[in-house]
Structure 1
Amino acid sequence: MPDKDAGTPRVYLARHGETEWTKNGRYTGVTELELTPHGVTQVQNSGRVLVGPGRLIDPSRLAHVFVSPRKRAVDTFDLLFEGVGKQDLVESGRVTTTEKLAEWRYGLYEGLVTKEIRALRKEHGLDQDREWNIWRDGCEEGESPQEVTARLDSLIEEIHAFQAGNMHGEKPADVLLVAHGHLLRAFTKRWLKYPMEFPLSLMMEPGAIGILSYEHHSIDEPALMVGMAFPSQSAP
């Protein structure tokens, strides 16, 4: 059976590697943290397997790379493309660092874990009849789901501008996003046109790569690619 969606552009999602707060579940928005040594290894391993000429993420097929301005995301981008096309991507103007991909602004919840956030909210007279849910309730003195939706929808419009005229592989139009756990899951919901509070359970490990695309070569049919065959790698 032929691949009816061959040539359709992809949007690759890259989550930054592990940090100390990733390890213990602390909400990390604006706080600048280094990758742990294990986090560096996570990203390098993903890069070796998935990034490079003839691999899943081929720099020659990337129309653009969008990167969160947080250091842990910038470092992840650098590690993913170590020795495999980073300079050409940058020099050709195909890399943009953008606040649209910054992690959810957690406000009062920065550095807390979920149980601490829920306890704090109850102290503030909130959530007396139900537990806090970031997708529905947002963050005190931080971002609401509506604010996150607005910036992600704006980014999706930019991505569509790269891809709309290339739905059959007319020219390379893949896009890579390098960002954060909550933000990339939020992006996936908006890509699929779901409201932020839609109960879509998504998991993404530090250093992981996810894939979004379209059905039927149609810009109006965004899709989650739950699996794909890996391309044949070029000989070294």
Structure 2
Amino acid sequence: MPDKDAGTPRVFLYRHGQTEWSQNGKYTGKTELPLLPEGRKQVLASGKLIVGHGKLIDPTKLAHVFISPRERAKETFDLAFADDDKETLEKEGKVTETEKIAEWGYGDYEGMLTHEIKALRKERGLDKEKGWDIWRDGCEGGESAQEVTDRLDSLIEDIHSFQAANMHGEKACDIVLVAHGHSLRAFVKRWLKYPMDFSLQMMLEPGGVGVLSYAHHNVNEPAVMVGIGFPYE
């Protein structure tokens, strides 16, 4: 049976490797933290398996790589891609650092744990009817759910500009996003056209990669690729 979705463009979600705060569960927005040795190993392992010529993420088939400006994301890109591939992509203008895919701006909650945030909000007289939900309530002094929605929607428009005319593989135009746990999961919600407060439980391990695409070769039918077929000769 032929693959009815063969050639459809994909969007790869590449989460940065483990940092001290991500390991401890602390909310890390703009704070610059390096990858832990374990985090570097996570990225090197996934990169070795799936990034490279003839592999799942083939640099020669990429239209663009969007990277969060945070150092942990840039380090992840640097580790995952071979030097010559990075040089070629950058020379061709296919690499962009952008706040559009930066981590959620946590504001007053930067560096805190979830239970600490809930306790702080209780002290401030918040959440009397419902417990804090970042997808609905956002962050004091940081970003609201609508602000995150707006910048992610803008990035999705950028991605569509590369992919909309190539739904049947007319031109290789895969996209890679190198970013963070919250922003990438938020991106999935907006990709699927769900409101940010839509209940959709997702997991993305440090150094892990997720994949999005389109159903029926239709840019108006965004989809999650639940199972991935790997290249073969």
Shared fold, TM over 0.5: yes
- State the Cα distance separating 1:198 from its structure 2 match: 0.2
Counterpart of 1:108 in 2: which secondary structure?
Answer: helix
Partner of 2:52: 52
For residues 231 and 134 of structure 2, what CA distance do their matches in structure 1 show?
A: 38
Question: Residues 212 and 223 of structure 1 are in contact (CA less than 8 Å); yes or no, is this contact kept in structure 2?
Answer: yes
Structure 1, 12-21 or 125-134: larger mean CA deviation: 125-134
What is residue 203 of structure 2 aligned with on the other side?
203
Deviations 1:75-131 (A, max 9, x none): 000001034611100111000000101100000000000000000000010002221
After superposition, where does 1:80-159 map in structure 2 within 5 Å? 80-83=80-83, 85-159=85-159
Residue 224 of structure 2: aligned partner: 224
Alignment correspondent of 1:9: 9
Q: Give the structure 1 partner of residue 21 of structure 2.
A: 21
Q: 1:39 maps to what in 2?
A: 39
Q: Does 1:168 align with 2:168?
A: yes
**What amino acid is aligned across from residue 140 of structure 1 in structure 2?**
E
* Between 122-131 and 53-62, the greater mean CA deviation after superposition: 122-131
1:24-58 per-position Cα deviation (integer Å, ceiling 9, x unaligned): 10000000000000000000000000000000000
| 2:215 is the counterpart of 1:215 | yes
Q: Secondary structure at the match of 1:163?
A: helix
Question: 2:48 & 2:102 partners in 1: Cα distance?
Answer: 25
Q: Give the partner amino acid of 1:176.
A: V
- Whether contact under 8 Å (1:53, 1:84) holds in the other structure is no
Q: Distance in 2 between matches of 1:141 and 1:66?
A: 26
Percent sequence identity over aligned pairs: 66
So what's the TM-score if we normalise by structure 2? 0.99
- 1:228 and 1:158 mapped to 2: Cα distance? 24
1:182 is aligned to 2:178: no
Distance in 2, matches of 1:231 and 1:154, equals: 31
4+ aligned runs moved over 6 Å, structure 1: none
SS of the equivalent of 1:21 reads helix
- What SS is found at the alignment partner of 2:64? strand
- The answer to whether the 8 A contact 2:145-2:196 is kept is yes
Q: Secondary structure of 2:152's match? A: helix
* 2:77 aligned partner: 77
State the distance in 1 between where 2:217 and 2:151 align.
25
Q: Which amino acid aligns with 2:120?
A: L
**Deviation for aligned residue 1:2:** 1.0
Does the aligned pair in 1 maintain the 2:52–2:82 contact within 8 Å? no
AA matched with 2:107: G
SS in 2 for 1:210: strand
Indicate the SS of the match to 1:216.
helix
TM-score, length-scaled by structure 1: 0.97
How many residues align structurally?
233
Cα deviation code 1:128-174 (max 9, x no counterpart): 22210000000001000000000000000000000001000101110
Structure 2 gap segments, 5+ residues each: none
SS in 1 for 2:177: strand
SS of match in other structure, 1:175: strand
